[in-house]
Amino acid sequence: MSNPDLQQQIEREYRWGFVTDIEQEPFPQGLDEAVIRRISAQKGEPAFLLEWRLKAYRHWLTLREPTWATVTHPPIDYQGIQYYAAPRSGNRPKSLAEVDPQLLATYEKLGIPLQEREALAGIAVDAVFDSVSVATTFKDKLETLGILFCSFSEAVREHPELVRQYLGSVVPYSDNYFACLNAAVFSDGSFVYVPKGVRCPMELSTYFRINASNTGQFERTLVIADVGASVSYLEGCTAPRRDENQLHAAVVELIALKDARIKYSTVQNWYPGDAEGQGGIYNFVTKRGDCRGERAHISWTQVETGSAITWKYPGCILRGDGSVGEFYSVALTHHRQQADTGSKMIHIGRDTRSTIVSKGISAGHGSNAYRGLVKVLAGAEGARNHTRCDSLLMGPDCAAHTYPYIEVKNPSARVEHEASASRIGEDQLFYLRSRGLGEEDAINLIVNGFCKEVFKELPMEFAVEAQKLLAVSLEGAVG
Amino acid sequence: MLEIRNLHVSIAGKPILKGIDLSLRPGEVHAIMGPNGSGKSTLAQVLAGREGYEISAGSVRYLGRDLLPLPPEERARAGLFLAFQYPLEIPGVANAQLLRTALNGQRRARGEAEIDAFDFLEFVQDKLALLGMDESFLYRAVNEGFSGGEKKRNEILQMAVLAPRLAILDETDSGLDIDALHVVARGVNSLRSNERAILLVTHYQRLLNFIEPDRVHVLAGGRIVRSGGPGLALELEAKGYAWLADAQTVAQTVAEEASP
Ligand SMILES: Nc1ncnc2c1ncn2[C@@H]1O[C@H](COP(=O)(O)OP(=O)(O)OP(=O)(O)O)[C@@H](O)[C@H]1O
Ligand SMILES: [Mg+2]
């Protein structure tokens, strides 16, 4: 690369790495039953929820951290983490006017204005800052359609029956080590309920921000689309740059009833650590959707550019006959980032269909593993899966792995797996440069072409954002 | 416009070009012919700025500038274009996107305003019409799944859009049917002007029936062993390369190619 000038150097920094100086509610470090009781009390939770948390905690004590993923990290000191961090502005503000201006400014700076402006009329936002949701926009407007969109804590208070019915019904507290920890200590997150036959008229989105140091973020999101309902939901995430690693162990549960449709898109840009691998978020997340009725449709789209380590396998349980699950993923690892990600599609109903498209990009010393499970149970007559799994490598030091697991118990099922690995070739780069494109533009063009099938699944604004994010994340990847 | 002097190039220590001298003035069309492996593509790629070649001696001046230190993109922005012998595929990137990115990149570099999507479409439709290409080419991924002939046409489309000062065509006529050959010739001839120069690498006289060159050079064994007027191409067509006065050089190259 020819003389990167100062401007480029500055741009290469993680742009979302600033810290908001805001006073925090004091909270002890470490984890025991008292801490869990305290989180629950802080939120004024009903007894059933505290019971559930405690059950999860006791179960967690019997589990061990999983070691099967293709990632390495020093041991995590679970007693060194603070499990709850809330900005000290008393109770959650009743309206946007009451939100701490410093928080509003933080989101403004992140490009997520919380004002219900005309320009953003198409997107309703729930903003989660460390452990609490600080604002939700367009709530009232949505309520006129019967759509509930609020923080998880508020849902627990206002709609405990829905929470009780659906919480843990897709990802039980005992599911895995990190999901179990989340069940014990989860702090906040978003809640969506779209009633029968309602198509949500705007994109719903949650913007997660980790600000406090030395804390973990354990959010929990629950999206329910009732019979014939449909909703598109987006989440975005950033964190300040810090030298220590921070744990983010979230759980997302989606429930689509008969003929319902949920589209869930993620642009994950947690702080990835520096070029030498110092700092960064451990993103250990469990996401699963349940197509609980006939012809239900759940679609996951993710663009994972951040985090020191990403460990997540958004999946679908295709229970209803004729239900459809989709997973579209771009995962990029640069410098010392590691990703072990993929999808799980469990075919239970007849004529269920699933599609997996995974695009892994590795640069620098990045390591990128695709791990996917396609399981067809005996009753899933006529089930179909198609998996495409492509890796793009840049430079000699990065790695890509593919681990497809296929279990088929019904002979009429058709399961197809395609995989490819390629390098950005000198020839391709020269071809584009000989047309007048600079080296980085040439790389971006090739990478965007590689990711196209996934980007076209994203809502328009997010697709543009995702392209920019890839470009920034890959700066300095060649040369 | 282009001034190549005593150019020596080797690949992995093996000399390929052994002292090339060649001058093109604005308005001229030159053809380079020569046996397989004689170094024609090497010369074309070195001119376009491909890395990985050792330039052990010589100089190249283009529009009064020293060409060799410039990276490929700056050469392109200065109006140099190479139609590749083997065009590359760029999956997922629409032809139109590459064309517009490239055109706007070059316009920006020249301090001209960028062209918006609508104006671009109009502009490119004219070029497609000129080359008899279907608009669907714009929306297909660059060269992906294109037939050999379509790839060559696509190179000419890029050339027509970028309107270079110096176009180097590396065997753009190889593998073309007779209609496509006309198309390529039309593309090249439409660019001919007294401000531009064209360097055609070809094996066949038939292209030169449609694009009449001012000079024809024979490259053999890394050297230009013969230069002449358009008649030289006809002679080569009839007699092959062996009759050349410098047949020794040719024989030597053949021997070199044969030994490991
Ligand atoms: N990357 C490389 N490594 C080793 N040898 C190479 C490389 N590229 C070219 N060569 C050699 O350089 C010589 C010239 O090749 P070049 O492609 O320039 O020939 P050409 O005249 O274009 O041939 P053709 O008419 O077949 O296209 C050949 O012997 C070729 O094998
Ligand atoms: Mg050649």
ipTM confidence: 0.92
Positive or negative, the Cα torsion across A57, A59, A62, A66?
negative
H-helix or E-strand spanning residue A444 = helix A439-455
**pLDDT > 90 fraction of chain B, expressed in percent and rounded:** 71
CA A253 to mean position of chain CA atoms: 11
Q: Of residues A210 and A253, which shows the higher confidence score?
A: A253
Q: How is residue A89 annotated by DSSP?
A: S
**pLDDT > 90 fraction of chain A, expressed in percent and rounded:** 52
Decide if A450 touches B, using CB distance below 8 A: yes
Tokens found for residue B50 = 């491909």
B39 lines ligand 1 (CB under 6 A): yes
Three-state SS annotation for B198-257: EEEECCCHHHHHHCCCCEEEEEECCEEEEEECCHHHHHHHHHCCCCCCCHHHHHHHHHHH
What pLDDT was estimated at residue A160?
Answer: 96
Averaged pLDDT for residues B17-36:
95
- Evaluate whether A194 touches A200 at the Cβ level (below 8 Å): yes
Q: Which residues pair with A354 in a beta bridge?
A: A325, A385
- pLDDT tens for residues A42-88? 889 999 999 999 999 999 999 999 888 888 888 889 998 888 877 66
Tokens found for residue A218 = 């354990």
Contact B90 A445 (CB under 8 A): yes
Decide if A458 touches B, using CB distance below 8 A: no
Contact A426 B51 (CB under 8 A): yes
Q: Of residues A247 and A289, which shows the higher confidence score?
A: A289
What pLDDT was estimated at residue A1?
Answer: 33
Decide if A3 touches B, using CB distance below 8 A: no
Averaged pLDDT for residues A207-227:
84
Tokens found for residue A240 = 């300040």
* pLDDT at position B67 over 70: yes
Single pTM value for the model: 0.84
Q: Is B181 helix (H, G, I), strand (E, B) or coil?
A: helix
Q: How many Cα atoms within 13 Å fall on the side-chain side of residue B13?
A: 0
Confidence of residue A134 (pLDDT cuts 50, 70, 90): low
CA A459 to mean position of chain CA atoms: 16
* pLDDT at position B1 over 50: yes
> Which chain B residue shows the shortest CA-CA distance from A438?
B73
Confidence of residue A9 (pLDDT cuts 50, 70, 90): very low
Name the phi and psi angles at B34, rounded to 5: 155, 160
**Maximal C-alpha separation, chain A:** 68
Which amino acid, residue B3? Answer: E
- Evaluate whether B202 touches B213 at the Cβ level (below 8 Å): no
Averaged pLDDT for residues A154-162:
95
Mean pLDDT: which of A47-61, A140-154, B163-177 is highest? A47-61
Averaged pLDDT for residues A287-293:
98
* pLDDT at position A90 over 60: no
Number of A/B CB contacts below 8 angstroms equals 77
Confidence of residue B253 (pLDDT cuts 50, 70, 90): low
Name the phi and psi angles at A414, rounded to 5: -125, 120
Q: Work out which ligand 1 atom sits closest to the CA atom of B43.
A: 18
The CA R_g of chain B, rounded to the nearest whole Å, is 18
Cα→Cα distances A100→A30, A91, A103, A266, Å: 28, 11, 5, 27
B36 lines ligand 1 (CB under 6 A): yes
What pLDDT was estimated at residue A7?
Answer: 43
CATH number of the domain at B2-258, out of 3.30.1240.10, 3.40.50.2300, 3.40.190.10, 3.40.50.300?
Answer: 3.40.50.300
A145 CB neighbour count, 10 Å cutoff? 13
Of B161-165, B223-227, B256-260, the range with the lowest mean pLDDT is B256-260
B16 lines ligand 1 (CB under 6 A): yes
> Which ligand is located closest to the Cα atom of residue B50?
1
Averaged pLDDT for residues A325-343:
92
Of A15-19, A179-183, A286-290, A471-475, the range with the lowest mean pLDDT is A15-19
Contact B98 A435 (CB under 8 A): yes
* Average pLDDT score, chain A: 86
The distance of B259 to chain A (nearest Cα, Å) reads 28
**Residues in B touching A436 (Cβ below 8 Å):** 73, 76-77, 102, 105-106, 109, 162
CA neighbor of A232 nearest in space, from A122, A342, A381: A122
The residue of B101, B106, B146, B159 whose CB has the most chain A CBs within 10 angstroms, and thus the best one to mutate to test that interface, is B101
Cα–Cα distance measured from residue A283 to residue A268, given in angstroms and rounded to the nearest whole number: 9
Contact B90 A438 (CB under 8 A): no
- pLDDT tens for residues A114-132? 665 544 556 677 777 776 6
* pLDDT at position B260 over 50: no
Residues in chain A: 479
Q: Is A14 helix (H, G, I), strand (E, B) or coil?
A: coil
Cα–Cα distance measured from residue A174 to residue A59, given in angstroms and rounded to the nearest whole number: 7
Strands (E), A352-471: 353-362, 367-376, 384-393, 399-408, 414-423
Tokens found for residue B80 = 């140099």
The residue of B67, B85, B86, B93 whose CB has the most chain A CBs within 10 angstroms, and thus the best one to mutate to test that interface, is B93
Q: Where are the domains of chain A?
A: 22-425
Tell me, in angstroms, the distance from the centre of ligand 2 to residue B75's CA: 21
Strands (E), B51-171: 54-62, 65-66, 80-83, 90-94, 141-142, 166-170
- The residues, ordered by sequence, that sit 6+ positions from B124 with a Cβ below 8 Å of its Cβ are B96, B99, B138, B161
- pLDDT tens for residues B97-114? 999 999 999 999 889 999
Cα→Cα distances A317→A355, A380, B141, B195, Å: 13, 12, 35, 66
CA neighbor of A363 nearest in space, from A331, A341, A334: A334
Instruction: Name the pairing type of β-strands A344-347 and B197-201.
Output: unpaired
* pLDDT at position A2 over 50: no
Q: How is residue A98 annotated by DSSP?
A: G
Tokens found for residue A458 = 């994203």
